[in-house]
Structure 1
């Protein structure tokens, strides 16, 4: 049974990886290249090289990744590096030998090119990331930076790298709109990746500190049909024991819960955090999460 399960997982891995890379390649070749848009990252640098010297984008992506693979092998391990290497090789082959020779380019509105380019690339990367794979490039750079500088804000650093590629694209294409449309593509790409990887189960985590937590809990259970957990805590200033109510809710339920808290105890201490995904009873089952 175990071998059968693992065999099925391997097949799913392959389907998601090939499908994701194919969709990503469509976004690059059909929309971004004809619109002269390089939306950051390794693929963006490869697009710039192709524009300047006519070299294949897939091959250039692989060449740019080589020094990253060397560092990855040393600091992130053999398994991660080999998985990334396989994905980059597959990406190079599909882009240069499957998509580029056979699929026509979109040569219409540049805004639509940037939007759909970002959507296709984001959807493709999202499918790859969903199964725990990496396409090298900025993913590997983020892991390497995290190991070397644990306290460095990685998101901001990667944003700077993408911003640098966008700035260079303005100089290469001699067109400031190249950078502006690159931002549109990058935004669409990021949103699609988040939607696919985290699903539609975005929500809120609520922490409520009140003398009337039992009333609030009962009202939430009845009116919102949402469960809650009571956590034992100690106030740092008073050193008194307090109950903290923990509740996970969908965004659509937040307003109703906030109103319940305000009605029962206007003086309650209320903390709201954004969460990317909620799994389990009352939400998306863990077993259905890919």
Structure 2
């Protein structure tokens, strides 16, 4: 029975995992197809390159993306073997297929709005949101990330710098292919992209770090361990002014749990002193591995 329950739990976890990957990928695809491709914004790896290549060839950006991504997947299999992530393969194929499918579901002959800056914001934000959600699940959208994985394995080249320079080269090419206005929009999008991805990931990872100075740590620790299912560390301290012995409880919680703990401490020990800090990077059991 336990083996059956374990199998069902594994299936459930995998279903949720791939559902999140699918939703994240579709958010990315909507941003690229609805806002990036129609405006010829040329930033962000494979899709940015696809915009430029599609302008000088008879095929659409979606088809170019499909061809490049499939070629990179083959290279990934050849050079990375078992190190090549299953999630990245799934997302890369889904991205390519979904972009091609959108051409039949919702063909576009021009930009969605008459405001290029508004389109640019959505062309940056939606893919950034999708990418951040993918990074949270240990996946990526493939494309230039596959090149980065190959470079990391076989060379000592600074990958981040290499990919950033390639993105700049694509934006420069957009200046010659589409004109200076589109090129400048592409440079702006390139600048915003990394900033938005970092901020979205930071927001998703945001947790609260507590230092609770109190007289009786027992009920607070029991609440943290039994109700919030988190760990805590208790230290002994002494008040600098009163010289009274105090207990200091140190713990890290998700945002919702932080509100619960704050309210609980205020209800049972109103004079407790709480230092609450925001942090986006906690490494350890229950957080990042």
TM over 0.5: yes
**Residue from 164, 167, 174 that aligns with 1:159:** 164
Which consecutive unaligned segments of at least 5 residues does structure 1 have? 205-215, 229-248, 252-274
Mapped contact 2:85–2:139 kept (Cα < 8 A) = no
SS for the counterpart of 1:122 is helix
Deviations 1:51-106 (A, max 9, x none): 33352333311211344333322332246265433322211221121366327652
**Residue from 116, 126, 145 that aligns with 2:151:** 145
**Residue from 57, 64, 72 that aligns with 1:68:** 72
Q: Residues 202 and 115 of structure 1: is their aligned pair in 2 closer, same or farther, counting only changes over 3 Å? A: farther
Distance 2:27 2:103 in 1: 10
- Is the aligned partner of 1:170 residue 2:198? no
SS for the counterpart of 1:31 is helix
Shift of 1:114: 1.4
Distance 1:172 1:203 in 2: 48
Mapped contact 1:44–1:165 kept (Cα < 8 A) = yes
Distance 2:116 2:145 in 1: 28
Which consecutive unaligned segments of at least 5 residues does structure 2 have? 210-236, 252-275
Aligned residue number for residue 256 of structure 2: none
**Residue from 131, 135, 140 that aligns with 1:134:** 140
Deviations 1:106-156 (A, max 9, x none): 232211211210101111122222212232211111111111223x32211
Distance 1:192 1:226 in 2: 35
Aligned residue number for residue 32 of structure 1: 36
Q: Residues 218 and 3 of structure 1: is their aligned pair in 2 closer, same or farther, counting only changes over 3 Å? A: farther
Aligned residue number for residue 231 of structure 1: none
Distance 2:27 2:42 in 1: 17
Mapped contact 1:118–1:189 kept (Cα < 8 A) = yes
Aligned residue number for residue 120 of structure 1: 126
Q: CA RMSD in A?
A: 3.6
Taking structure 1 as the reference length, the TM-score comes to: 0.66
Distance 1:133 1:276 in 2: 19
Shift of 1:169: 1.1
Mapped contact 1:145–1:154 kept (Cα < 8 A) = yes
Aligned residue number for residue 258 of structure 1: none
Mapped contact 1:29–1:100 kept (Cα < 8 A) = no
The residue correspondences of 1:110-259 to structure 2 (distance < 5 A) are: 110-150=116-156, 152-174=157-179, 176-198=180-202, 199-201=204-206, 227=250, 250=277
Shift of 1:178: 2.0
